[in-house]
Amino acid sequence: DDEEDEWGLPPREETVGEDGVTRVVEWSVNEANYAVKTTKLMKVERKSRVVSTGVAERLKWAKFGECAGKPPGPEKGTTMASVEEILVEWIPQKDDDAEEEKEEDEAKKELDIRKMLAADRLRRRMEERKAGVSNWAQLMAINAGADKEDVAGSADASASGAPPPGKYVPPSLRNRDLNAPPGESSDRPQRDDSSTVRVSNVPPRTTEADLQELFRPFGRIQRIFLSRDRVTGESKGFAYVAFDLISDAQKAIDRLDGYGYDHLILRVEWADASRNK
């Protein structure tokens, strides 16, 4: 002020126009001792915005340090407002809750499936023990009409001369006594694939041993082929069972075609499609 009086500068002028623009005129002296006129045009616009409760509470906090005792709002020379645009991606809480609820439902379903399978295995063991058999396939064979003595005695007959289930036997060695010396053939007549049946709708967890137990009460079995998935090792749903006698194969078709095995209905027919017409 003293400097302005010494140089005789006009006082500060501030006028507000009809459009709301404030015009401020100020005079000062620069380093070269020249009078400088500065004109500022300002327009103040007040906008209200909705903020969270936490932000509203922070606006009421008392200032500290160099701004202690100052009124609310930014302080010129101390507080600088950022001009950068900051994008914040808000994730609604309901999406998190829905995802967590979905995971809980999936875990519950998996637990229910495990409990169901455990109960099913327990039920099978109880039925096997009650029927006096060693596995589920033997129980299925008895339910299909086979005698319990035939089912129990077929294991000994298979061990004496039948080839292991699922193992390929060349035609020249089929129907041959496995205990006979090399070069000595059996007295039984040779059989071809006309006594082979095709089994469809086989459950995935079925094994060759299961099919052996299911079919051998109807006659002597030459071999069993069960198609399996190379990755999972589970059954692809079909198998071939070759009997020694055509009559035995016919008995198996008559008794097991349409029979409920595990949770599926078996389809047993001749491997030669022309014979099924």
**234-277 pLDDT per residue, tens:** 889 999 999 989 999 999 999 999 888 888 899 999 988 777 76
pLDDT at position 123 is: 80
pTM of the model: 0.36
Residue 120 has pLDDT above 70, yes or no: yes
Q: Give me the phi and psi of 235, to 5 degrees please.
A: -65, 140
Contacts of 207 (CB under 8 A, 6+ apart): 226
- In percent, how much of the chain has pLDDT > 90? 14
pLDDT at position 6 is: 67
Lookup result for tokens 């039984």: 188
Pick 214 or 123 by higher pLDDT. 214
Strand partners, 265: 260
pLDDT at position 11 is: 87
* Mean residue pLDDT across the chain: 78
The Cα–Cα gap between 100 and 104 comes to: 6
pLDDT at position 164 is: 53
Pick 153 or 273 by higher pLDDT. 273
Output 39-48 pairs: Cβ under 8 A, ≥24 positions apart: 43/19, 44/20
Tell me the pLDDT band of 20, cut-offs 50, 70 and 90. confident
Q: Give me the phi and psi of 82, to 5 degrees please.
A: -75, 140
The Cα–Cα gap between 235 and 221 comes to: 20
Q: Give me the phi and psi of 118, to 5 degrees please.
A: -65, -40
Pick 46 or 152 by higher pLDDT. 46
pLDDT at position 200 is: 92
Pick 11 or 274 by higher pLDDT. 11
Q: Which of 159, 157, 138 is closest to 148 using CA atoms?
A: 138
Contacts of 244 (CB under 8 A, 6+ apart): 175, 188, 191, 195, 219, 220, 221, 222
Instruction: Indicate the helix (H) or strand (E) that contains 151.
Output: helix 148-161
Candidate ranges 141-150, 171-180, 229-238; pick with highest mean pLDDT: 229-238
Pick 186 or 145 by higher pLDDT. 145
pLDDT at position 272 is: 82
Average pLDDT over residues 67-86: 79
